[in-house]
A = this chain, B = another copy of it.
Amino acid sequence: MTENETQSSTELAGEMEKLNATDCTTSIEEDKDGDIVDPWKVESKSAKGVDYDKLIKRFGSSRIDQQILDKIEKVTGKPVHHLLKRGIFFSHRDLNIILDLYEKKKPFFLYTGRGPSSDAMHLGHLIPFIFTKWLQDTFDVPLIIQLTDDEKFLWKDLSLEECHRLAIENAKDIIACGFDKEKTFIFADTDYISQSRAFYTTMCRIQKCVTFNQARGIFGFQDTDCIGKISFPSIQATTSFSVAFPQIFNGRKDIPCLIPCAIDQDPYFRMTRDIAPRLGYHKPSLIHSTFIPSLQGAQTKMSGSDPNSSIYLTDTPKQIKTKINKYAFSGGGATVEEHREKGGDCDIDISYKYLTFFLEDDGKLEQIRKDYTSGELLTGYLKKDLIAMLQEIVAKHQEKRKQITEEEVLEYMRPRKLIYDY
């Protein structure tokens, strides 16, 4: 590593260009079809939403195909999660490496996160955590969850104190997903950076490897962006490396990482994968999800800032019912007659799409698809099923969240050894 460090920035820049050629194949930009996908914006001109096949090509990641689904079932001996089976987690980088390690009983860890910019988490925010919980249960490995309160302070019109308060509040929603305290470390950046020399020094090593040119190419930074934004990617990258958590990994810097996240976070980890070899660390593997569409349609994702676009984890049963009935974009016919005749279009029907995220019963989902497409099932009935299901999911979540005390949150967020030995 010293050898890496002792190279000059310009040498590193040169190396980086080479590495870019292999992994970091795209910069932030709208593609020909007008799909925009970056850490700050997701938009599509198509009612079917972002073209994820195109995105895989643009980002240079790999599709999660039947072969890799079979491999997951083979090495875990368990059926794959419906979010995998249904292509909601649709793309990956080097997932095979992680599966091979698991097969050989070699260690790895999970890393995911959230930017705490609002109290109001919505159903879309739950998806990566629901899936990560399944990964933790299935692979039985440590999970590290990063809450980027400093990022939200730098990007939003929020005070640092407010961002940290939101981190604690969001942590309660995350814990409510059922993560095992003995296997999970949750941290806010402003807490852990000022607690861990290992984390800060890893940040520094990463910051030395990335030039402003490269950061601008990957994230689209402007000269008018503040210097905090420009160095921030190093902070999200640091969590990919076990060396930043000596209390968990006993100082080992060779424990690989699997990152489940929405595809818009990929730029951070393309950068991370590019620099990892130079620092003597493993490239993190990734598994990418699509976005849960807004109630108004798949052109945009659920947004915490637009109440009518999202079902919040704090919504009442009545609010859920009203929002679905009033706003959920329908792929059904304009009239009952037209619907009976032409049938509904599941590709653009938001209620149906939500069922694919939350209805675990494949048989029931397929039956609904058939009946809705044929026109037999009316939008009203489809929505009725969805409303009942979401009311139950949200109510259960609220119940679990209520039971989580401040003390419990602080325990999840205390830097400490987990039950795993290294």
Residues in chain A within 8 A of chain B (CB atoms): 1-2, 5-10, 12-13, 150, 153-154, 157-162, 190-191, 193-197, 199-201, 204-205, 207-213, 215-216, 221-231, 233-234
A228-B231, A231-B230 as given contacts; A154 in contact with B221, CB under 8 Å: no
Copies of this subunit: 2
Q: Which residues of B contact A194 (CB under 8 A)?
A: 193-197, 199-201
Cβ-closest chain B residue relative to A214: B227
**Interchain nearest-CB distance for A82 vs B (Å):** 40
24 contacting pairs across A/B (C-beta < 8 A): A2-B159, A2-B161, A2-B162, A12-B226, A154-B208, A160-B204, A190-B201, A190-B204, A193-B200, A194-B194, A194-B196, A194-B197, A194-B200, A207-B228, A208-B226, A210-B226, A212-B221, A212-B225, A212-B226, A212-B230, A213-B223, A213-B224, A216-B223, A230-B231
A227:B205 contact, CB within 8 angstroms: no
Main secondary structure of the interface of A (DSSP, over half): helix
Q: Which residues of B contact A207 (CB under 8 A)?
A: 154, 226-228, 231
Cβ-closest chain B residue relative to A3: B159
Q: Which residues of B contact A13 (CB under 8 A)?
A: 224
Q: Which residues of B contact A216 (CB under 8 A)?
A: 223
Q: Which residues of B contact A199 (CB under 8 A)?
A: 194
Q: Which residues of B contact A12 (CB under 8 A)?
A: 226
Q: Which residues of B contact A200 (CB under 8 A)?
A: 190, 193-194
Q: Which residues of B contact A226 (CB under 8 A)?
A: 9, 12, 207-212
Q: Which residues of B contact A1 (CB under 8 A)?
A: 159
A157-B7, A157-B8 as given contacts; A215 in contact with B197, CB under 8 Å: no
**Interchain nearest-CB distance for A281 vs B (Å):** 15
Give the CA-CA distance A200 to B189 in the complex, in Å: 10
Q: Which residues of B contact A190 (CB under 8 A)?
A: 197, 200-201, 204
Instruction: Among A2, A153, A201, find the residue whose CB has the most chain B CB atoms closer than 10 A.
Output: A201
Contact of A227 among B161, B197, B233 (CB under 8 A): B233
B231:A212 contact, CB within 8 angstroms: no
A224:B204 contact, CB within 8 angstroms: no
Q: Which residues of B contact A10 (CB under 8 A)?
A: 224
Q: Which residues of B contact A197 (CB under 8 A)?
A: 190-191, 194
Closest 8 CB pairs of A and B: A207-B228, A231-B231, A194-B197, A194-B200, A2-B159, A6-B157, A227-B231, A213-B223
